[in-house]
Amino acid sequence: MPYTYEKIQQIVENQRKFFRSGVTLDVNWRLHQLKKLKAAVIAREKELEKALYDDLGRSRAEAYLCDIGPVIVEINETVRGLKKWARPELHFSGLMCFPSIFTTVYKLPYGVSLIISPFNFPILLTLGVLTASIAGGNTAVIKTSSKSAASTKALQKLIAETFPENYITVVDGGHDVADMCLAQRFDKIFYTGSPAVGRHVLEQAAKNLTPVALELGGETGNWCIVRKDANIRDAARKIAFFKICNAGQICININQVAVAEEIADTFNEALKAEFIRQIGEKPEENEEYPKLINDSAYDKCQKLAEQYKERIIFGGTGNRGTRRFAPTMIYPVRIDEDIVQQELFCPLLPIVPYKDDEVDSLMETIADREHPLAMYVFTKDMKWAKKVMSTQQYGGGCINEVCIHMMVKGVPFNGVGHSGMGAYHGEWGFREFTHPTTVLKGKTHFNLSLREHPYTGKHEKLKMRLLKMFEK
């Protein structure tokens, strides 16, 4: 049955009524819901694996590595830490507030949350965010991507069999349904997807002054810098793995590689060898190689590859029937070309040569563009690497590694600027779905009249002396 504005409105109203019952405020109750979610994921592991294969062609190992396993890890971390995270903070009120001694900061849920998840990691980026929402004590309406239909169906079944609709529910449909959701008055919105749609989400949320977290891909893509002193074989191995993963449809994936021209030929040959080693000479025929999400994504990838066909040094072939398009190296590419000023979200890999002694100029050019979600550098020069990683504007990244920063427990996953706002994972997710509320407990005895009128007269000097003493 198709969703209508009225239907979605009723869902939100029912969830608001459930939230106001106060049930979700109990931390032990939240822990029970998280354990139910974990049990449901484990029980339906095979169903989720099949859904990911149907939507994205992901092998069982990749499905577990990138979607299912991280959800379980996220829930485990949240269960272990939630009581500590949710504990009210006690602060000394200070002399200025005397006779009050203590002030309490509570971490309170927002209320009814809206989670809009993408197609590329439909399990992780739905249930991972849901974990944070549950931990914070919120209810949740989940709008899944219409592109990953099999995963949506699996998620709908999992959620419906685990939670009541007035607590958590999955809403499916296209952009029209998403807009119906955004037209409602939610208390918190978490969106994962493109910067263009992120702007739209922000605009709609502004109508109700709803706080928003955005996890975006970055409009000019994520850079990987390979210096001339890098371990070329190691860099090629890791870059190839990452570009193969989910056929490049990853928000933190390498969009383009900048390689020192002194080692460019050697690097290119090493990268070709790694692609062949990992997925064979005809990856489009390898059933373990993921596919693009739909015909439109495939056609877009193929069309862009066709524009650069004269510079393709590896790949460039595909099978529209299976929607598998080979990892494709395009070399050389100038830093001012359009292909390195957009998020590709496909297996194309532009390679930009630069002079190693001009690397600082390269970094300035990157810094002048919109901030990426991720950045990667390969080099033996740790002083330079640490300087770059501590001064550039980006969400997260690695030195001599790729992507696995997002797998580290206890650290935030976030963007900056056009790559997003807000953060989640572990305690950071709990913080994202709660707001601090400060409550001072007053006293009825020993109240001083310092803050009260009159401020002039015989007690003026004494009041001023005491006030200045309190400042210290």
Structure tokens at 353: 């040569």
Q: Cα–Cα distances in Å, from 245 out to 40, 277, 288, 344, 399?
A: 26, 14, 10, 14, 19
Residues 120 and 197: their CA atoms lie apart, in Å, by 15
**Distance between alpha carbon 352 and the CA centroid of its chain, in Å?**
27
Collapsing DSSP to helix, strand or coil, 101 comes out as coil
Per residue, what are the HEC states of 361-400?
A: HHHHHHHHCCCCCEEEEECCCHHHHHHHHHHCCCCEEEEC
What distances in angstroms separate CA 228 from CA 267, 330, 353, one per listed residue? Answer: 10, 19, 11
What amino acid positions are annotated as catalytic residues?
Answer: 215, 251
Q: Is 417 left (phi over 0), alpha (psi -120 to 50) or beta?
A: left
Q: What is the DSSP string of 406-426?
A: GGSTT--EE--GGGEE-EEST
**DSSP-based three-state secondary structure for 223:** strand
Distances (CA, A) of 378 to 222, 316, 385, 401: 14, 26, 8, 7
Q: Name the residue among 408, 350, 4 with its Cα closest to residue 177.
A: 4
Q: Where are the beta strands (DSSP E) in 78-187?
A: 89-92, 102-109, 112-116, 139-143, 168-171
Q: Give the DSSP H or E segment for 213.
A: strand 212-216
SS3 37: helix
d(CA 376, CA 162): 40
